[in-house]
Amino acid sequence: MCGMVRMTIQLGQRLKAAVARAAERWGESQAGIVRRGVAAAVAKVAQKAARRPRIPLFASDDPGLAERVGEGLRGFGE
């Protein structure tokens, strides 16, 4: 098991049975099915995190910018 580590998880009976069925259907081990699922979930979380805006959205050296924000947004959404 090069690069692999053991991990213990707990599954409900229905999920465990679904894993067993999927493993049989795809001709793969149950551990392989779980690894695929974990990899897919981690990738989905990473995609969502990459799309999230980072704060601050921009930087400005203008100390009066906040007071004039209305000027910059005038007409927006009309």
Comparing CA positions, the residue from 11, 16, 40, 42 lying closest to residue 30 is 16
> Is the pLDDT reported for residue 33 higher than 70?
yes
* Percent of the residues in the chain that have a pLDDT greater than 90, as a whole number: 50
Confidence of residue 38 (pLDDT cuts 50, 70, 90): very high
Q: Could you tell me the residue ranges of all domains in the chain?
A: 13-60
Kindly tell me if the per-residue pLDDT of 65 is higher than 90.
Answer: no
Provide the 3-class DSSP secondary structure of residue 13.
helix
Task: Say yes or no to pLDDT of 1 above 70.
Answer: no
